[in-house]
Chains A and B, each alone.
Chain A
Amino acid sequence: MRYYWTRFSFKYPQIIIYMLQGSEYKIEDYLKWLDRTNDFRQVIRRRKLDYTNKAKSLLILIWLTIIFIYVIAGYLLFQSIILANILMTVLSVFLFIISPLVIAYGIVIPLWLGKIIIQEPKQHKIVTTAQQIFANHPALKIAIVGSYGKTTAKEIISTILSEGKKVAYTPGNMNTTIGISRFALTLNGDEDVIVVELGEEKVGDVLDLCELTCPDIGIITGINEAHLSSFGNIDNTIATIFEIKDYLGNNILYKNAESPLVIKKINDNDKFTFSQKGTNGWSINQILTNINGTTFVAVKNNKTLFSHTDLLGTHNVGIISVAIDIADSIGLSIPQIISGIKKTKPFEHRMQPRRLRGAWVIDDTYNGNSEGVKAGLSLLKSLDAKRRIYVTPGLVEQGDKNREVHEKIGQQIAKVADVVVLMQNSVTDYIRNGLKSEKYKGKLIIIDDPLEFYTNLDHFVVSGDVVLMQNDWTDNYA
């Protein structure tokens, strides 16, 4: 209640829309965020409100509601003075005081109605059409599932296969039923390969998406604690991701042997596991990685590929070996595969290096999992640097493993970084505990305003520094 007055700010309507947008208009997530917010001045910190048509319409609706409430309250106050009616005065003040709550919770009603009346029937139609498109499409359909690394795997595989085949793939991290269905509507029918990324948030999701997309080949990129809050426990996560195995039956399913939770479910004689050592008979040797990329040699029988990718870190090599195996099996030549690998570049905000005032900054802010942290720290350790600077707010959605995961991250960071920059939030103390337990002796900086830090990074660095920025928290997690 101490900060209730912050709801009377002129910016309050924008803040409400910002929260809706940040929750992707998911009513439950929005209400949770709303309930735990006290000081509304602190909500918009990392991003700005994107004035889409939907946002603009809702903003107008809120302002109209505010004006309506204030007019009623004003009228009641006016009448109360004329009629000397204390009850009306109280009612007027009460209406004024509760107006922010009416707006914040009331906005849910038109959203909910819109969802039931317009959105859901429309979506149902799109999904049905999409299912038919996938079922009848002659292309090789590759589905990618996992708690992490899906988008990177999709980009790598699509880039390499595009050297000799017509490839379509789900854009960005569009991996929900409606997102994938909309993608299906864009297909021409003449594609050779379709690569789809399947998202998962609850038990049954992967099987549902398999039934929608009808994949021929599957890839499990790895399993960890991501979305643990919605899965409840890790066994549910594992079972959900392995739903693809049930769907594929005897078809090929590549599984990441570098993910401990995946290994648990793999037979010793399974030749479709992948790692930095290779997959399905492909053996990877002589891996070298630095700020300019990664080189390696892939060999199978009489085929040898001397390869270079601009992607940073050895952790990408396993999935590249999968792409090599698929490319080889569908008839791409060795020069085509090498050329495809050469075209794989760091993706935006994923191990993306850039120069800044004589320092290197590796932007891995889209990474959001502990495996990525491990890979990032391993890369940071391997690079020559004046100072190794590691920047993170921590990971989101770690459920009841939150403390354990972040203490472990702190311990891992302590072994690598000369300077650690943490964004102040609910997990900062856990990471600090981890650093302490490893007797970290470097410099620790705690930042209150991440946006200010990111935009003024040039004032923090010196020539020769390597800065690794991992993970990013949107305001709804802060």
Chain B
Amino acid sequence: MNKTVAVFFGGRSTEHDISIISALSSVIKPLELTKKFNVIPVYISKDGKWFSDEKLKDFSIFRGTGIDELCGKLKPLTVIFDGGMTIKKSGFKNKEIRIDIAFPVMHGPYGEDGSLMGLFRMAGIPFVGSDMEASAVAMDKVLSKQVAQANNIPTPKFIFFSKTEFNADPKSVIYKVTKNLVFPQFVKPAHLGSSIGITKVKNTDELLNAIEVAAYYDDKIIVEESIEDLIEVTVPIMGNEVLIPASVERPLSHDDEFFDFDAKYMTGGKKTGGAKQAGAQGYSEIPAKLPNNLYAESIKIAKDIYTAIGCEGISRVDLLIDSKSKIVYFNEVNPLPGSLYAHNWRASGVSSIDLVSRLVELAQERFDSDKQIETIFSSNFLKQF
């Protein structure tokens, strides 16, 4: 009998819509085409309600007001923790579906940051992608950079502070930043992906404004020195212990200072330069035209940080290359890259179907391996009371 794979998408994050695109285009359809799984969509609305319905597999429902109407008609799911995880659809006829494997396709907070993974761990079911701790670290730009530093992986110099700290004494924060870092700098919310709330600044005034923008999105802010003479590349990686990198990819954005949300998802990038592929992030060069040593170094750094953070299943590592000094810096890790970066995997010889099949296998392998670890032991403590 086919296993039931529940695909979780949507969510209470600013990247709600990206998650829908990722789930529908790169996960649900290929999973169905494998003919190996019974695929159940679990959509989490912006206000945190969970729904499941076959109609949620169709893109058209998410255009316009269709999704609101559907959610208005459907009753939110009940989740039963019965030694596993079962979802109960209420309606004319109640239907219970036991989930064999969870496939979270969530970006940003409440999904990609480990929250959902914690839920699956509690339920005791296998799930695709990195575990709770690695997801939490990866989604925190400060923590992931600290992990990089601790493992001697180069990363741009940075300062971080809380929103409260900034609001209480902005001048002191600005002083701390300007004293330790040189301009230009990048100001980023520590937990958001998809370049939301990120600004490049060249002076103190811009810095102040940019921190206010970042503080609007997050309570933890990071400011880092910009790498000039920059080549920005990204490396998708798959695996638990044995790591398989896809191609080193160089996103080609318009002439703006960096690759922002609009360039990534809204405009489709600018069609200039050499061999390009349209992907989740507009147009890219795959594989990136880099000298052999820099290409190999990019793969090495990407694998090193993947292992250091403890990523599993799939992740995408963003790197910054200083084309003058030839140093490859770690920038950030995305535990669930948009649309799984299927365009890069395809260019690297892995079809969408093979990609999702392998990810489900990796989830099962980790689950089976974790089961070998003893977590319960008998004691006589209780008898003493």
B25 CB to nearest A CB, Å: 9
Q: C-beta contact mask, A101-142 vs B, less than 8 Å → 1, else 0?
A: 000000000000000000000000000000000000000000
CA–CA, A374 to B126, complex, Å? 48
CA–CA, A456 to B349, complex, Å? 17
Residues on B with C-beta less than 8 A from A463 are: 277, 346-349
Decide if A264 is an interface residue (CB 8 Å cutoff). Answer: no
Contacting B at CB under 8 A, from A446-478, are 448, 452-453, 456, 458-464
CA–CA, A48 to B326, complex, Å? 58
Decide if B38 is an interface residue (CB 8 Å cutoff). Answer: no
Measured CB to CB, the nearest residue on chain A to B34 is A459
A304 CB to nearest B CB, Å: 38
Which of A357, A386, A448, A459 contacts B349 (CB under 8 A)?
Answer: A386
Residues on B with C-beta less than 8 A from A461 are: 346, 351
B33 CB to nearest A CB, Å: 5
Measured CB to CB, the nearest residue on chain B to A447 is B35
Contacting B at CB under 8 A, from A404-457, are 448, 452-453, 456
* Contact call A358/B347, Cβ cutoff below 8 A: yes
Measured CB to CB, the nearest residue on chain A to B352 is A459
Contacting B at CB under 8 A, from A64-107, are none
CA–CA, A459 to B33, complex, Å? 8
Measured CB to CB, the nearest residue on chain B to A448 is B35
Decide if B153 is an interface residue (CB 8 Å cutoff). Answer: no
Chain B, interface size category, equals 10 to 19
B356 CB to nearest A CB, Å: 9
* Contact call B33/A358, Cβ cutoff below 8 A: no
* Contact call B349/A464, Cβ cutoff below 8 A: yes
* Contact call A458/B347, Cβ cutoff below 8 A: no
CA–CA, A461 to B346, complex, Å? 7
CA–CA, A357 to B346, complex, Å? 8
**Which among A357, A448, A463 has the greatest number of chain B C-beta atoms within 10 A?**
A463
* Contact call A462/B347, Cβ cutoff below 8 A: yes
Decide if B343 is an interface residue (CB 8 Å cutoff). Answer: yes
Decide if B353 is an interface residue (CB 8 Å cutoff). Answer: yes
Decide if B123 is an interface residue (CB 8 Å cutoff). Answer: no
Measured CB to CB, the nearest residue on chain B to A456 is B33
The DSSP consensus for interface residues of chain A is: loop
Residues on A with C-beta less than 8 A from B353 are: 459-460
A323 CB to nearest B CB, Å: 38
CA–CA, A198 to B223, complex, Å? 77
Measured CB to CB, the nearest residue on chain A to B26 is A459
The DSSP consensus for interface residues of chain B is: helix
Decide if B30 is an interface residue (CB 8 Å cutoff). Answer: yes
CA–CA, A461 to B29, complex, Å? 14
Residues on A with C-beta less than 8 A from B181 are: none
Decide if B213 is an interface residue (CB 8 Å cutoff). Answer: no
* Contact call B343/A357, Cβ cutoff below 8 A: yes
Which of B29, B347, B350 contacts A456 (CB under 8 A)?
Answer: B29
CA–CA, A188 to B351, complex, Å? 54
CA–CA, A458 to B353, complex, Å? 10
CA–CA, A456 to B25, complex, Å? 10
A422 CB to nearest B CB, Å: 14
Measured CB to CB, the nearest residue on chain B to A386 is B349
CA–CA, A456 to B35, complex, Å? 13
CA–CA, A461 to B35, complex, Å? 16
**Which among A358, A448, A464 has the greatest number of chain B C-beta atoms within 10 A?**
A358
* Contact call A462/B349, Cβ cutoff below 8 A: yes
Which of A386, A460, A462 contacts B33 (CB under 8 A)?
Answer: A460
Contacting A at CB under 8 A, from B322-358, are 343, 345-353
CA–CA, A386 to B350, complex, Å? 11
CA–CA, A464 to B351, complex, Å? 11
A63 CB to nearest B CB, Å: 28
CA–CA, A390 to B118, complex, Å? 44
CA–CA, A206 to B15, complex, Å? 66
B292 CB to nearest A CB, Å: 21
Which of B343, B345, B348, B351 contacts A460 (CB under 8 A)?
Answer: B351
A452 CB to nearest B CB, Å: 7
Contacting A at CB under 8 A, from B345-385, are 345-353
CA–CA, A460 to B351, complex, Å? 6
A406 CB to nearest B CB, Å: 24
* Contact call B277/A462, Cβ cutoff below 8 A: no
CA–CA, A357 to B30, complex, Å? 15
Residues on A with C-beta less than 8 A from B348 are: 462-463
Contacting A at CB under 8 A, from B129-148, are none
Residues on B with C-beta less than 8 A from A452 are: 33
Which of A448, A456, A462 contacts B346 (CB under 8 A)?
Answer: A462
B21 CB to nearest A CB, Å: 15
* Contact call A459/B30, Cβ cutoff below 8 A: yes
Interface residues of B (CB under 8 A from A): 29-30, 33, 35, 277, 343, 345-353
- 30 pairs, CB–CB < 8 Å, chain A vs chain B: A357-B343, A357-B346, A358-B277, A358-B346, A358-B347, A386-B349, A448-B35, A452-B33, A453-B33, A456-B29, A456-B33, A458-B352, A459-B29, A459-B30, A459-B33, A459-B351, A459-B353, A460-B33, A460-B351, A460-B353, A461-B346, A461-B351, A462-B345, A462-B347, A462-B350, A462-B351, A463-B346, A463-B347, A463-B349, A464-B349
Known: A357-B346, A462-B351, A463-B277. 20 other contacts (CB 8 A): A358-B277, A358-B347, A386-B349, A453-B33, A456-B29, A456-B33, A458-B352, A459-B30, A459-B33, A459-B353, A460-B33, A460-B352, A460-B353, A461-B346, A462-B345, A462-B347, A462-B350, A463-B347, A463-B348, A463-B349
